[in-house]
Structure 1
Amino acid sequence: MCVVICFVLSQLAAASQINSNSVLVALLDSRYTELSELVEKALLLQTLEKAVADHNITIFAPRNEALERELDPEFKRFLLEPRNLHSLQTLLLHHIVPSRLGHTEWPNESTRHATLSPEPLRLSNLDSVKLAGNAEVVHLNDVFRPDGIIHGINRLLIPKSVQQDFNNRRSLRAISAIKPEGAPEVDPRTNRLKKPAPSVPAGSAPVLPIYYAMAPGPTLAPAPAPGPGGPRHHFDGERQVKDFIHTLLHYGGYNEIADILVNLTNLATEMGRLVSEGYVLTVLAPNDEAMAKLTADQLAEPGAPERIMYYHIVPEYQTEESMYNAVRRFGKVRYDTLHVPHKVLAQEADGSVKFGDDEETAYLFDPDIYIDGRISVQGIDGVLFPASEKTGSKTPETTKTTDRDQSPPKSRRGKLLENSPFSPPENTSSANQKGMYKDLKAYVKIHFSKSKLVCIS
């Protein structure tokens, strides 16, 4: 503290040889050392020296107790920040009136007096209590000098402009910050820097491939990446997945595939999320007769149900008409699947679409079971496997020769629609198959009531 006082005295003396009897020297009294430090930090010594040389001044000085214990610490830090120097100067100059206002000159009524700051100060009497602004004068004429007077007050005077600056700073409205950006990420598949996806209008198709939005799985897809739809979904994918599973159950003959989607995997939830983010899907759904040819070992292998289903999901929106037109014009078409990197081969055969190679094929048996513009479900009469996974997976039933190439398939749609929606299909004549169908309805109730996708009554 002594160093500060000596420094201020030396600055005043060097400036214009201030008399030791000056009010500015008296301000260094031990009762106002906190205010003196603020004056030094605000670089106001020359301004006050010029004011004293021109005329008498009146200083309303808060005592040390008011600045040490009663001042908001956050507001004090705001004043001492170098970028807020102008606010600190305005606040201190608001305590100085460029005229002499002693006990005898104190106004009887409330009056406004100009200060060295842009804002005036209101002086008033209230029940024999003298007020300067909203501060009480506790020591009138505390320091009396030829060039000025110091009145002791019980609190700091804060102009409206300084209070507004503090409020703006605290609410971050006056801060112009640069949004931080993270370090660049490397795509593990290409070993190149990832580029952010360009902005697209709300509700438009995603820019990134569907594989970036897929959840990780066993040898199914690359590492997960955020979907372009973000947290604000533009499509109700959960409702659409619920609708197409409902349709499979009502249609009849596709209970096994619905059982896998709902109970053995979490693909129903995954498909709902993908559709919500704007992606489209085509499901090649094997019927119950085809699924019955799968062995227990094929489904018991870890990740086998997911791999089978992902190979039957095409990340495009295709209908029976669009696929048939494609294979009729180009002969053979290979469609991408979600079982990366395998593709499924489609070709024209006897007025229909045949999937798979020559050894193991499946025909488009029930076209357009469900089409809503986002999800397309096409019924097929066989289970498809990638070429690398066919070894050891064939059963005697699948290796038998058929006469499909000689006679085109006939749709069962008209016959099934005549039945009750929940009646067992004609091909489920055994007691085990009927019991499976009842259990499936119970599983669907439990699963979808928990995942909020559907509730079948």
Structure 2
Amino acid sequence: MASANTYLTFYFLLPLLTTTAVAALSGKPAAQINSNSVLVALLDSRYTDLSELVEKALLLQTLEEAVAVHNITIFAPRNEALERDLDPEFKRFLLEPRNLRSLQTLLLHHIVPSRVAVSRWPTETTPHKTLSDDPLHLSNLESVRLVGSAEVVRADDVVRNDGIIHGIGRLLIPKSVQQDFNTRRSLRAISAVKPEGAPEVDPKTNRLKKPAPPVPVGSPPVLPIYSAMAPGPSLAPAPAPGPGGPHHHFDGESQVKDFIQTLLKYGGYNEMADILVNLTNLATEMGKLVSEGYVLTVLAPNDEAMAKLTTDQLAEPGAPEKIMYYHIVPEYQTEESMYNAVRRFGKVQYDTLHVPHKLVAQEADGSVKFGDGEETAYLFDPDIYIDGRISVQGIDGVLFPSPAERNSKTTESEKPVDSIKHVPKSRRGKLLEVACRVLVSIGQDSKFTTCHHI
């Protein structure tokens, strides 16, 4: 048991020993840190995410020097505040190597170069100097201790001779770091403006006016997905390089078959799988798009939702295809990315392959709700299939464009799929039955074995 304790002590002291060695090589005097230091306690505490950030920010030597001179107080955010509550975009900003200075400033903002125990907590709002340029305001509101806007959830959690650690409920972001993040985000938005040299498509031939320049390996296709869906030869410059296939290209056909098999094995999505296999060339079209480097998100209604479709809703020519295309988003979205988007922006509009109709998503009851009219659906089975190119999310309803959207975007050549409000005929396979009737009328039913059993 003694050897195990020795090993653990060595493991947590290793980063400190390393920085000390670096200081010795650089000619700087190294601070002497003993095993009972508050810094060693931080590395071996419940605040593992914070201690990892301190190491990534290369701050161990700076903190050693601070401890050698001062008695310090560390306000440590709990792990949940850094894992779930922190904006993913802001977290990516902090971890980018070019933003190391911002990460260091943020972490030093959580450290006060004096000992502030609970017994010495101020009764009124009092500014305290930190190791960064921005001060922290400590206050006491109805017996709740606050550090800035964060509540102290574990007072005097770790007490050592050279410092104290208080657990707090959220990350403290100084104004200077917030300004750096806002500036970087604004620059990224400006750089996203379509450049003048973007590829031009001839509207008559739907082809590139000029040959597309070479693109780096793994880059997305040059043209938008709607151009790739246009009639005629493929418009993507070349199959996007990827991990599958003998020529290291994305094998879209296999990926589509794989996610259809996943739907069948998952259970409760047999209607959707039948449509993709028997109804239209949708599966073939999806496979071609994925092979060319495009990404797709499929919102798959479950069998219970599909059973509520009425014959009248499906009788309009092309209605099944329009319904399916309205459930395909030309982006790669997971349950986490969509929920983060609606939680942050309220309502989000996604493009669909049913041009020009868009799909509205918003947060509701801790989930994502799709649709803005009478027909709405919740994200019911998240991440049924996610392979980096195709994402399948199970929903509990069939979606239609809202009446206002249909009225504003409908032309003479494109009539909407009307939503009939009478009592639906609840029977499995109505969508497939209507499709087979169409195929029989044009003499193509022999190609689909499923039609023989209806």
TM-score, normalised by the number of residues in structure 1:
0.43
TM-score, normalised by the number of residues in structure 2:
0.43
Q: Which has the larger radius of gyration?
A: 1
